[in-house]
Chain A
Amino acid sequence: MSEQRQRPIQEYEREPVPQEARLGLKSFVGQYAGEHVAGTELMIGPLFLAAGVSAFDFIVGLLVGNLLAVLSWTFFTAPIATRVRLTLYYHLEKICGRKLVAVYNTANGVMFTVLAGAMMTVSATALGVYFRFSMPGLTDTLPTGPGWVAAVLLTGALFSVVAAYGYRFVSRFANMAAPWMVLCFAGFGVIGFRQMGLESVGDFWRVASTVVWKGGDPMPGQVKFTFWHVMFFAWFCNMAWHIGMADLSLFRFARKSWYGLASAAGMYIGHFMAWIAASVLYAVQLHQDPGNTAVLPGPLAYRACGLAGLLCVVIAGWTTANPTLYRAGLAFQSLRPKSSRFKVTLLTGLVASVTAVFPVVTMKLLDFVALWGMILMPMGAVIFVDFWILPRLGLRGNFAEVSGRSINWAAGLAWACSMAICALLVLRGGVQIFFVSLPGWFVTSLLYLGLSWWMQKQTALAVARARLPEL
């Protein structure tokens, strides 16, 4: 953590990270462990249970899916990051051109805004424990009353003002809170399992498979989750970061590419332990009151850990909403660089607050996260092909930079067509959104390869024709 904080103020936004600014393994372990124990884990864990998952499918699916995510960071993202050492945005600009990066930033900004909204929703549920206003149920899509609207807007406004004013303060606070939050999540799990009747570690599997994750039908409005759903969800829930290459910006500081393995700290603490703990809390609620299917992190945490649990919900939501809003603000600000970051972040926060009022995104968080991966993943495929494959076929990488174009249509069309094909597969082909990004990656790669070959051939022909009269 200390090494990470010693990162120089110079962020090397448009140049490779030099030797002296590179960081050791510990920085990345701390970063991932802190970043992936977030407020949203308290929503995601229960939603697995609502999807009727069985204990084997859930636990083994998480183990395998998280392993695949770690391997994706290690073998997809980090090797390119440590060779090129540029931010995602600058790298994309070289490949795709300035205008296409602007489109990417818009998509990224929208997704970050909605995610920040989900985190506001999570924190607002903590207020509901005390003020006892009507909170949304699992199938609710619209606000449940003025109390809910006021709580969400108040939470959102506070988060937005802090994100606009004091990003660095909350960032430091988040790092400080991380060790406590991790143990608090562990406490949720231990208390939850005890409340479900687990009395000894040796009895774990019996309780897990017959009392907690019993399998069976999903709750109304939820998709039935099998091993494959869990595995693909765990693998792809951070797809925008690993296969989508967003973490190029992070790993460009890594001394070695195998530091990608540091992501295991985030995956197995945040996306394994924390999801299991949150899921158990929901199981306790269903066990005590089968009619209460609402997934509300505030009451769930309060029942297990009391006020400390509520504090954990608020802090987890706040500390993750803050950088998310900041990133969204930066993405939008990049479209109009002269605009004030303060105003853009504030405006983004207000939009996020409005989306947070509608519980549909939060209650469908699993689908939203899968959609996010599907939308941003194609740019990762473009970067992968551009870096590893094009040069081996005698084609030029970084085509926008080399040809001086503001838009590389090969990348743009590959992205758009891939999203259209994925959407078609989901809407008409019966493929669930949790799986579609895998074929989508291959579709984007092949399209980008083919279109790059065709475009570069046309460009070479045009150049040859232009030179012809000179001969």
Chain B
Amino acid sequence: MKRLAQLLSVLALAGTLLPPCLFFANRLSLPATQQFLLAAAALWFVSAPLWMEHKTGN
């Protein structure tokens, strides 16, 4: 579960960085970029607490 959450978090971070780069390279429209960014944000805030909380023992 923790491994899965970490994997999803990595995907979320990649999903935050890649869409702007694809927009920069003219491979993605701005509305699509913004939708990907929102999805990535949601994924991060769902997945990160699962392993970050474990890691810190809080």
A interface vs B, CB < 8 Å?
1-2, 5-6, 172, 175-177, 179-180, 183-184, 186-187, 190-191, 193-194, 198-199, 305-309, 311-312
In the assembly, what is the distance between CA of A2 and CA of B45, in Å?
18
- 22 A-B residue pairings within 8 Å (CB atoms): A1-B55, A6-B56, A176-B48, A176-B49, A179-B13, A180-B45, A184-B41, A186-B17, A187-B16, A187-B20, A190-B21, A191-B20, A194-B23, A194-B24, A305-B20, A305-B34, A306-B33, A307-B34, A308-B34, A311-B38, A311-B41, A312-B41
Note all chain A residues with C-beta closer than 8 A to B17. Answer: 183, 186-187
Q: Nearest Cβ distance between residue A88 and chain B, in whole angstroms?
A: 26
Q: Nearest Cβ distance between residue B27 and chain A, in whole angstroms?
A: 11
Q: Which residue of A lies closest to B51 (CB)?
A: A176
Note all chain A residues with C-beta closer than 8 A to B53. Answer: 172
B13 adjacent to A187 (CB under 8 Å): no
Note all chain B residues with C-beta closer than 8 A to A191. Answer: 20, 23-24, 30, 33
A308 adjacent to B24 (CB under 8 Å): no
Note all chain A residues with C-beta closer than 8 A to B57. Answer: 5-6
The residue in B21, B30, B37 that gathers the most chain A C-beta atoms within 10 A of its C-beta is B37
**Nearest 8 interchain pairs by C-beta:** A306-B34, A308-B37, A190-B20, A187-B20, A5-B56, A183-B16, A194-B24, A308-B41
Known: A1-B56, A172-B53, A306-B35. 11 other contacts (CB 8 A): A176-B52, A180-B12, A190-B20, A191-B24, A191-B30, A191-B33, A193-B24, A305-B37, A306-B31, A308-B40, A308-B41
**In the complex, chain B residues 4-51 whose Cβ is within 8 Å of any chain A Cβ:** 12-13, 16-17, 19-21, 23-24, 26, 30-31, 33-35, 37-38, 40-41, 44-45, 48-49
Question: Could you tell me the dominant secondary structure of chain B's interface residues?
Answer: helix
* Contact-size category for B: 20 to 34
B24 adjacent to A172 (CB under 8 Å): no
In the assembly, what is the distance between CA of A309 and CA of B36, in Å?
12
Q: Nearest Cβ distance between residue A363 and chain B, in whole angstroms?
A: 28
Note all chain A residues with C-beta closer than 8 A to B44. Answer: 180
In the assembly, what is the distance between CA of A230 and CA of B33, in Å?
33
Note all chain B residues with C-beta closer than 8 A to A312. Answer: 41
In the assembly, what is the distance between CA of A160 and CA of B55, in Å?
29
In the assembly, what is the distance between CA of A193 and CA of B56, in Å?
37
